[in-house]
């Protein structure tokens, strides 16, 4: 499967369209494994985390209902694209025109507080993030 096919398959399986800027980056550099930290994740195939997760696998896992914490709700617009270590991931916002980059850090998760405190904007646009990191 090439990058365009994987991108379409991701959309079919998740209902989320990957931003064109991200798809172009993959077309130019391959299906993950490049960039900072542990490298960008492969969309479906390609580069995986140390636990064998692709972008699709992580997104589906994060969006799943947690029987131990039914109040947990993953923001559907955030697609994890890079694992930076210690269960921390950077996500691209698939809504809006800027495709901001948001960090998800599950460290010290408190079910009482909910997920909001575990997300913070890292960069206002994906393009700016790429310019400084890839």
Domain count, the chain: 1
pLDDT higher than threshold 80 for residue 93: yes
CATH of the domain at 76: 3.40.1580.10
For residues 84-105, give the mean pLDDT: 94
Could you give the C-alpha distances from 60 to 11, 24, 74, 114, 128, in angstroms and in order?
12, 23, 10, 19, 27
Give the pair of three-digit tokens for residue 72: 């947990």
The predicted pLDDT at position 134 comes to 84
Using the predicted structure, report yes or no on whether residue 113 has a pLDDT greater than 80.
Answer: no
Average pLDDT on 28-38 reads 95
The answer on pLDDT for 28 being more than 90 is: yes
What would the DSSP string read from start to end of 51-92? TS--HHHHHHHHHS-BTTBTT----TTEEEEEEEETTEEEEE
pTM of the predicted protein model = 0.93
Percent of the chain, pLDDT > 70?
98
Interatomic CA distance for residues 88 and 86, integer angstroms: 5
pLDDT at 22 over 90: yes
pLDDT tens digits along 36-72: 999 999 999 999 999 999 999 999 999 998 888 777 8
Q: Which percentage of the chain shows pLDDT scores above 90?
A: 81
Residue 108 has pLDDT above 90, yes or no: no
Write the pLDDT tens digit of every residue in 114-128. Answer: 677 789 999 999 999
CA pair distance 80, 39, nearest whole angstrom: 12
Average pLDDT on 64-92 reads: 91
Range of the domain at 9: 3-133
């Amino acid at each position: 499967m090439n990058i365009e096919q994987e991108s379409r398959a991701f959309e079919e399986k998740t209902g989320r369209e990957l931003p064109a800027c991200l798809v172009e980056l993959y077309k130019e550099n391959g299906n993950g494994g490049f960039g900072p930290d542990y490298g960008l994740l492969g969309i479906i195939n390609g580069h995986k985390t140390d636990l064998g997760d692709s972008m699709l696998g992580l997104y589906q896992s994060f969006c799943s209902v947690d029987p131990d914490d039914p109040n947990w709700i993953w923001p559907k617009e955030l697609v994890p694209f890079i694992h930076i270590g210690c269960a921390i991931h950077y996500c691209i916002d698939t809504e809006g025109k800027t495709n901001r980059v948001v960090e998800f850090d599950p460290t010290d998760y408190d079910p009482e507080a909910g997920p909001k405190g575990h997300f913070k904007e890292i960069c206002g646009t994906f393009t700016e993030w790429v310019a400084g990191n890839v």
